[in-house]
Structure 1
Amino acid sequence: MKKNKDETKETIHKLIEVARMYFTEKGYAETSLEEIVNQANLTRGALYHHFGNKIGLFQVVLESVQKGIANRIETEAAQSDDVWEQLFLGCRAFVTAAVEPQNRRIFLIDGPSVLGWESWRRMDEQYSMRLLHEQLQSMQDQGFLKPVSINAMTHALSGALNESALWIAQMPDYQQALEETMTVVSHLLDGFKSR
């Protein structure tokens, strides 16, 4: 019985890994299921059994990208004990991870268009926005933030970061655009500090 579970996990992992490679390189629309199953050395039946269809597979791939970005945010934010620097480092980690070649197309371009904006947002709320909300709530509870709505601030800041990531992804000088963005984010965050 354990062998079957291990084989199932291996099959799922292989399909996700190969699909992510194709979705990254070619995009959702240009990727065929035939390419994925051939590269994974599996059958279409295995893919349909585990994911239902191409959209189901893409959704799982996008969720793995979202989890990876959330892990980056947590790792980068944990580099400091200062709550403001944690917030800044988390914001920077989000934008940096979102525009990386292995994430950009899946996360920023195909994710919202394939799944629809509302589904993409719900997934974003589960991962990156949840971390942002928790950090802001903790900061407010400790008296570091002005008395503002944490829900409103979370959505405003998340929207700014998502839009910034889309802008940075189109810029020829990625590093300069990232630094300019983070300067703006720093000034924006300064406005919320309780004095």
Structure 2
Amino acid sequence: MVIVKKLISETNEKRKLLTKENEIYFDKLLIYIRSHLLLSERQSEEVLTEILDHLLSAQAEGKTASDVFGSNPKVYAEEIVEALPKEKKGNLITFGVEILCDIIGWFIIIGAIGRYFTKSDQIYLYSSIINVVAVVAIGSGLLYVILKQLKQGAFEEKMSKRTVVKSGVLGVVTFGLFIAILYLTDELGPLVNITWFTQLGAGSALLLISYLMKRDRTKSY
């Protein structure tokens, strides 16, 4: 991860040297490639760095990105994605668990803060479990949709009205679905006494686990 962060930092700095035309072309490649989470992150960034270095050299000779990589950046980007290896399963699983701990941890902490103000030490067990599952499922679904939108929109000059409307509707529907789940599962299962402070500690513990997993995961890069 240290190497990946360094590559990303170098890419961000070198992008500033591109002409406007070349920067637009390169950014399309960058967005499309980075939106594929299942690809090896390190090798994806290494390829982007190589492309950028090659483009800067060509630019110094008066060439454009279209001259070097072709007039269709989507075709070129798809070829790159096809050639890149997948991320190791172990890394993907670790990353998934890390994100789950992060999402659930924050959800529990927010709930604990709310219960602190309501002065309630009781929760409905089944309702709480369903709510956590709903947060994870909806969050995962939103991530998938966002990445899909990034892939589709990477080569559009500007976001279409249809995409804007779809995104707005998706946001409203998602929010409404979550509220509906909270309402319909408000009082399910036995009541369990858990203080807000205990809940806060549980959420903090999950965030700590997420942090430690991220730290250990980054050492492997």
TM-score computed with the length of structure 1 as normaliser:
0.39
The structure in which a higher percent of residues are helix is 1
